[in-house]
Amino acid sequence: MTARPEDPAPNPHATEAEVQAAYSDNKLAQVLYHDWEAETYDDKWSISYDERCIEYARGRFDAVVPDAQLPYDRALELGCGTGFFLLNLMQGGVAKSGSVTDLSPGMVKVATRNGKNLGLDVDGRVADAETIPYEDDTFDLVVGHAVLHHIPDVELALKECLRVLKPGGRFVFAGEPTTIGNIYARRLGQVTWKITTEITKLPFLADWRKTQEELDESSRAAALEAVVDLHTFDPSDLEGIARSAGAIQVKAKTEEFAAALWGWPVRTFEAAVPDSKLTMRYRLAQYKAWLGLSKLDEKVLRHVVPRKFFYNVMITGVKPAASGK
């Protein structure tokens, strides 16, 4: 249940030279950025392994595969990060055993530790989604969350998924940014950051201002983030990529319109002010607002707003039974 000793060690404190090299080596950038984030990632994104996130992960899965025969026997997660998606799906009854994999050794270390703490049947391995280090026909399910947009050749990664899936096996990727959603999310984020960091220069708001060192660190992170975020997706184009890779029963679904228009400024504001200012009551109120707006998206806006305007896209597909290679 631990990360494999033969895998490379995490490198959470990259040197300036390594950071510079990462600007011209995307895979190195992915490893450095995510190794650096690994130990604080769950806190940063409010990731937990309780009812709240189990329900969220299961909800994403059910949204694209409402009629699955559960549980799957053996699942693989690509770009697992700290294990948010697969560990919560396993707790939600989607799979019995799992392998959490990521390009970043630091993330694999945290994900396997999280799996162990939860008492799940999970192993971990450093793996590039473009060259998955498992035999053909190994898994019943392959999942990923917020990973496809980091992979240079998405079609190659989906071909690899189909190769390691057993015939009839399924992949589910969720949490990918749509092209239009990404435009408004980034703009809203930039405007909120500017307003918050300017307003908190006022002397009577000084205790709402992060130290200059923290703000500089956030700006450096944002610069590297721009390097590791490679793609955004139009849902129909993503379906086309999955079909070209060889998948059948391909379906993309989008979510979060009102919830994203609200959520991105809120998230950016939270990143720009000291943590101590964000009370539990405030966080709970924000979470409730986000839940309410997500419901509005699902019940009403989904029927009137074209799917490409929503922020998140998920995609599923199946490996053909006869020949998937």
Ligand X SMILES: C[S@@+](CC[C@H](N)C(=O)[O-])C[C@H]1O[C@@H](n2cnc3c(N)ncnc32)[C@H](O)[C@@H]1O
Task: Provide the binding-site residues for ligand X, judged by CB under 6 A.
Answer: 30, 34, 78-81, 84-85, 102-104, 107, 128-130, 145-147, 150-151, 175
Residues in the chain: 325
Let me know: does 72 contact 96? Beta carbons within 8 Å.
Answer: yes
Query: What letters, b where the CB count within 10 A reaches 16 and e where it falls short, cover 196-226?
Result: bbeebeeeeeeeebbeeeebeebeeeeebee
Q: Is 254 exposed, middle or buried (0-12, 13-18, 19+ CB in 10 A)?
A: buried
Q: How near is the Cβ of 157 to ligand X at its closest, in Å?
A: 7
- Rounding to the nearest 10 degrees, give the CA dihedral for residues 147, 150, 153, 155: 30
Q: How near is the Cβ of 307 to ligand X at its closest, in Å?
A: 21
Among residues 188, 142, 151, 194, the alpha carbon closest in space to that of 169 is found at 142
Q: How near is the Cβ of 227 to ligand X at its closest, in Å?
A: 11
Q: Output the residue with the shortest Cβ distance to ligand X.
A: 81
Q: How near is the Cβ of 264 to ligand X at its closest, in Å?
A: 15
Select 122 or 209, whichever has its Cβ closest to ligand X: 122
Q: How near is the Cβ of 174 to ligand X at its closest, in Å?
A: 8
Select 209 or 227, whichever has its Cβ closest to ligand X: 227
d(CA 96, CA 166): 16
Q: How near is the Cβ of 43 to ligand X at its closest, in Å?
A: 12
Select 103 or 188, whichever has its Cβ closest to ligand X: 103
Select 147 or 188, whichever has its Cβ closest to ligand X: 147
Q: How near is the Cβ of 98 to ligand X at its closest, in Å?
A: 13
d(CA 236, CA 169): 22
d(CA 181, CA 258): 11
Select 146 or 314, whichever has its Cβ closest to ligand X: 146
Q: How near is the Cβ of 91 to ligand X at its closest, in Å?
A: 15
Select 128 or 239, whichever has its Cβ closest to ligand X: 128
Let me know: does 115 contact 83? Beta carbons within 8 Å.
Answer: yes
Select 85 or 310, whichever has its Cβ closest to ligand X: 85
Long-range residue pairs from 109-112, CB within 8 A, at least 24 positions apart, any chain: 109/3, 109/10, 109/38, 110/38, 110/39, 110/41, 110/42, 110/81, 110/82, 110/83, 111/77, 111/80, 111/81, 111/82, 111/83, 111/87, 112/1, 112/2, 112/3, 112/83
Select 58 or 277, whichever has its Cβ closest to ligand X: 58
